[in-house]
Structure 1
Amino acid sequence: MAALSPKAEATVEPIVYVVDDDERMRESLVDLFMASHKQASAFASGTEFLKAADTGRPGCIVLDLQMPNSSGLAIQHELITSGSRMPIIFLTGHADVPSSVTALKAGAADFILKPFTAQNLLEAVDKAIKLDEERRRVLNERNRLCALADTLTRREREVMLLIASGLMNKQAAYELGISEMTVKLHRMSVMKKMESRSLADLARKVEKLGQIVQHECGVDA
């Protein structure tokens, strides 16, 4: 289940993976998605899917909840454990409330009962793909901010956090025990390295960095 780089995935069309042990259902779903101008690939078992599918690719998974050898919930768990966040739409022929609750709590995009209409499934797939696109956009932005922050020296990071919190240059200088001129020089460097043209933009980026685990980009916001 190899993941694609942000650069590579920009040229890759979303795909709909179908995982269902019912051959007729697999073929029907693939035909439906292909007729809707979507790329689709089908697997007869969770084991086959986990072994061969590229879950780092943009798209979503249409997954049968109940299969002989591996349940949909078990496959969802394997995907989460491997680090995949590809949206999952569960299909089931039974109104299994506990399973649906478990699936949705674990991040499933939707839970659809059989029989279902083609329109309902296509709408769910479109929604899941949009969800995946938004998640990837946020991830790319996070990675970009981390890359910018990694260019800062320790002192520049300290200055950035103080001025982004609203302190004046003189106040930041007092907090750090350095001259106001030194703070001004660091501030100019921070604004350039963080690609910020205004203090408001810098503050917004620092706020986003504050939502990122410290070890991911080395900034304790």
Structure 2
Amino acid sequence: MEPVLHLVDDEEAVRRSAELLLVASGHRVITYPGAQPLLAAAGPTGTGLAPGCLILDVRMPGMDGLQLMEELSRRGSPLPVVMVTGHGDVPLAVRAMRAGAVDFLEKPYTEERLLEAVAAALAQGGEAAQRRAEVARAGAQVAGLSPREREVLACLVQGMANKVVAHQLGISPRTVEVHRANLMEKLGAKSLPDLVKIGLAAGM
């Protein structure tokens, strides 16, 4: 699915200019005149927005860009953020970056600078989406294991050797080996590190 750039700016001329530039560069863009329309689209869980990134103007009436970013984060929105301001406010830039913004642009910015920031945000968002998919996949895989297999996997994730696992669970080392082989097959792991990686991704 092609990523969408969600652009929030209360100044119509600025909004229109940025939209034209981004569309001409091959991006899909949805614009919003302020924080509330975006929050309405995001929904209570913050996941109602199409995947992509956010471009937020800092200085807006009502809820400003930083407050909007913090509210979206509280709702669980996974979208990376590029912050834009017309004021050379260094403390504000620091706050935005600490809050998780990928980049901070000061108006007037060049076309190249905006496109670079968007590219960085989309790249970060793609990596985050891949990690979320890995976590979901691992969780589904581990959910299909038997209770005993999950116990064995939890011990292996902690770095225990087969004999230690056997002692911990009150079973024979041979039984641990059988469970370990079954885990490798069920989880599609080619090695013990693969097995541990899946267990960690599943939150074990």
With the length of structure 1 as denominator, give the TM-score of the two structures.
Answer: 0.83
Q: Which moved more, 1:142-151 or 1:190-199?
A: 190-199
Q: Is the 8 Å Cα contact of residues 72 and 90 (structure 1) preserved in structure 2?
A: yes
Aligned mates of 2:168, 2:106 — CA distance in 1: 60
Give the corresponding residue for 2:39: 50
Give the corresponding residue for 1:16: 5
Secondary structure (helix, strand or coil) at the match of 1:112 reads strand
Q: Which moved more, 1:189-198 or 1:25-34?
A: 189-198
User: Deviations along 1:106-138, whole A, 9 cap, x unmatched?
Assistant: 111111111110000001001100100000001
Secondary structure (helix, strand or coil) at the match of 2:56 reads strand
Q: Say if 2:189 is the partner of 1:196.
A: yes
Q: Say if 2:53 is the partner of 1:60.
A: yes
Aligned mates of 2:168, 2:81 — CA distance in 1: 49
- The alignment covers a number of residue pairs equal to 199
Give the corresponding residue for 1:132: 125
Query: What is the aligned counterpart of 1:110 among 103, 112, 119?
Result: 103
Could you tell me the percent identity over the aligned residues?
38
Give the corresponding residue for 1:70: 63
Q: Say if 2:140 is the partner of 1:147.
A: yes
Give the corresponding residue for 1:27: 16
Q: Is the 8 Å Cα contact of residues 55 and 86 (structure 1) preserved in structure 2?
A: no
Q: Is the 8 Å Cα contact of residues 9 and 34 (structure 2) preserved in structure 1?
A: yes
Aligned mates of 1:55, 1:123 — CA distance in 2: 26
User: Which sections of structure 2, spanning at least 5 residues, go unmatched?
Assistant: none
